[in-house]
Amino acid sequence: MRRKKREEEHENHERWLVSYADFITLLFAFFVVMYAISSVNEGKYRVLSNTMVDAFQQGKQGSADPIQIGEAPRSPLPTTEDPFTGSMASSLVMQEGEYQQAQQEPLSGEEEAVVEEEAEGEAEDEFPLEPIAESIKESLSPFIEKGLAEVTSNPYWIEVEIKSKMLFTSGSARLAPEALTALRDIASILKSLPNVVHVEGHTDNIPIKTISFPSNWELSAARAASVVHLFTRLGMDPKRLAAIGYGEHRPLSSNEEEVGRQKNRRVSLVIMAERRDRKTRTFPVPPSGDAR
């Protein structure tokens, strides 16, 4: 019986790939380790450097600041110096304390005199409102006697309140003919003055819903704008005028009765005080209607 020839085993020619893959893996691990070793923590290096400089140059041991690991702690004070030394933060804290101490210290006699002198100078620069108020009261005296207008004043503004029934028909923003005389007299007084004038429209709480005026906001603003347009046609500078609508939200009296609603339906002219030598002016805001 013949013996079968032993089949030759197939030789694997790709065994080198296993060794190559192991070599590449080791090489990759080698470079990762080298990169990790080459990375220097700047904060640790700076602390180490400062410590060695203090030790060798000054001949004494220096207290090293704790090494910061991770992000530097956040501080409410801005710092431009090294976050590990904290020198700028302590400086700012010191400056803040000195500022508070300086604010608490009382003024000397000379400083108080200077402050009082400046305050008196500002008071003298205020444009006098009393003559303006008297002129307006004189021009509106027939309407004031009938209770249709009222003029009040203080050192900061003059307020001229005119009842809406004198100026407009119900639910309308068109000025009535009899109102033109009173507004023309007021415009003739204010036209030559530099004062800012706020025209404020007010209504009662009875709701209105028309195509022109969906609510009392639009009605009050339109009435104020009608007065402003008239003033501009009479020669007043538009830059001095402002039209404001408050609707029913600043009443003078209760809206439960008709008498109170009549008081609340009004247009107010607020004439602000003016400084003669001030290019950029800020004016105090008058109080709410409830306080007037």
pLDDT of 84 higher than 50: no
Residue 50 tokens read as: 């400062």
CA distance linking residue 13 with residue 188, whole number of Å: 112
Poorest-pLDDT segment among 60-64, 116-120, 244-248, 277-281: 277-281
| Residue-level pLDDT at 65 | 52
Q: What is the mean pLDDT of residues 204-225?
A: 92
Q: What is the mean pLDDT of residues 14-26?
A: 83
CA distance linking residue 263 with residue 259, whole number of Å: 7
pTM over 0.75: no
| Residue-level pLDDT at 39 | 62
Give residue 49's pLDDT band: very low, low, confident or very high (50, 70, 90). confident
Can you give 209-221 as a three-state secondary structure string? Answer: CCCCCCCHHHHHH
Give residue 264's pLDDT band: very low, low, confident or very high (50, 70, 90). very high
pLDDT of 268 higher than 90: yes
Give which of 232, 206, 212, 224 is closest to 168, Cα–Cα.
Answer: 224
| Residue-level pLDDT at 217 | 94
Poorest-pLDDT segment among 24-38, 80-94, 184-198, 272-286: 80-94
Give residue 10's pLDDT band: very low, low, confident or very high (50, 70, 90). low
pLDDT of 96 higher than 50: no
Q: What are phi and psi of 73, to 5 degrees?
A: -65, 140
CATH class of this structure's domain 130-276: alpha beta
